[in-house]
Structure 1
Amino acid sequence: WQAAGLSSVLGSAACQQGSAADRVFALCWNEDYATIGRVAMLLWSIWHNRNDKIWNDNVRSPNQIGRAAFDQWNEWIAVHKLRSNDDHDVPPVSTIRWEKPRIGWLKCNVDAAFFVG
């Protein structure tokens, strides 16, 4: 928790009571959006590390996971602040709707994300 900058929130006695679901709901009820986002990023980082261990046999220490979550949250929030500052300069984007392919054609919809590093 400390490496992610969340020891005051997640290390409290109140957060140690109940199930994991109870804790998440309590956080969502009692904390601001920034704190909830930081906790979500930490949970995602823990999940990602678990998958990295299973699929790549790559393990990071809890401190590395917490620090990565802290850095990723700060990067995410900085990018979204920049985007919100630039929103007034960008014309609104029209909604793209799915279209049925022509006869004889197949259509494959995909989603992707790219991460540096």
Structure 2
Amino acid sequence: MMITSTGRGEEGTTQEDWNCIWKVHDPPKTKHLLWRICKGCLPTRNRLKDSCLVSTQARQSAGLDHVVTSWIQHVGTAKELLLTICQAESREVAGKLAMLLWVLWKNRNNSVWEDIKESGQVLGAKAMHLWQEWKAVQCTTSNKNTQPELQQQHTQWQRPQFGWFKCNVDAGFHNDSCKTSGGRL
């Protein structure tokens, strides 16, 4: 157990727990929201309650009511619910739930800042539409990546025109260590 800055005791979360969130089949913005919910660092005056409440209409409309309902009986907090679903359900189911939560969060912000609020049924359908659209783009992108790679052309450095400066930049992603790197010269 760890003591937080507020003096509350908190069960430690292992790296494996966080890894299940990052493996969800969904856009990065939704994974980031899951992480923020689990860490308890949503930027609201009064953070979302630690209960496992998600709009029933939205869950039903998104076809996720059975998933949430079956797990909600076994957990006590939103964090436990999300981590359990990310670990026990498929990446796609966890991804759909993450998208639903993101749509609900966006609706909450629209309600607070722009006085615009949509029904749970509309939000559930919107979440599934966004998830299907994202998945279709991912399939298209992965199909393009299976084509044979073209060899990179070798170019030779050339001095810039007088009065101009040249800046060379490069970046890379290291899959094994999940790190990015970059450089400029």
Does TM-score exceed 0.5, indicating one fold?
Answer: yes
> How many residues are matched?
99
**Counterparts of 1:92 and 1:20, CA distance in 2:** 48
The list of structure 1 runs, each at least 4 consecutive aligned residues, that deviate by more than 6 angstroms after superposition, is: none
**Counterparts of 2:108 and 2:151, CA distance in 1:** 39
CA change 1:95–1:29 in 2 (3 A) is same
**Rg larger in 1 or in 2?**
2
Amino acid at match of 1:22: E
SS at the partner of 1:95? strand
Q: Which structure has the highest helix share of the two?
A: 1
Residue of structure 2 equivalent to 1:2? 60
TM-score, scaled to structure 1 = 0.74
Q: Which structure has the highest strand share of the two?
A: 2
SS at the partner of 1:60? coil
Q: Deviations over 1:62-97 (max 9, x none)?
A: 111111001100100011011000113365996363
Residue of structure 2 equivalent to 1:115? none
Residues 1:77 and 2:162 aligned together? no
Amino acid at match of 2:135: I
Identical pairs, percent: 33
Residues 1:95 and 2:153 aligned together? no
Unaligned 5+ segments in structure 1 are 101-117
Bigger relative contact order, structure 1 or 2, given CA contacts below 8 A and separation 6+? Answer: 1
Residue of structure 2 equivalent to 1:53? 111
Q: Indicate the RMSD between aligned Cα atoms, in angstroms.
A: 2.2
CA change 1:58–1:95 in 2 (3 A) is same
Residue of structure 1 equivalent to 2:72? 15
Question: How far did 1:11 drift?
Answer: 2.4
**Counterparts of 1:5 and 1:41, CA distance in 2:** 12
Amino acid at match of 1:15: I
Unaligned 5+ segments in structure 2 are 1-58, 153-169, 173-181
CA change 1:55–1:26 in 2 (3 A) is same
Q: Which is worse superposed, 14-23 or 87-96? A: 87-96
Question: How far did 1:31 drift?
Answer: 0.4
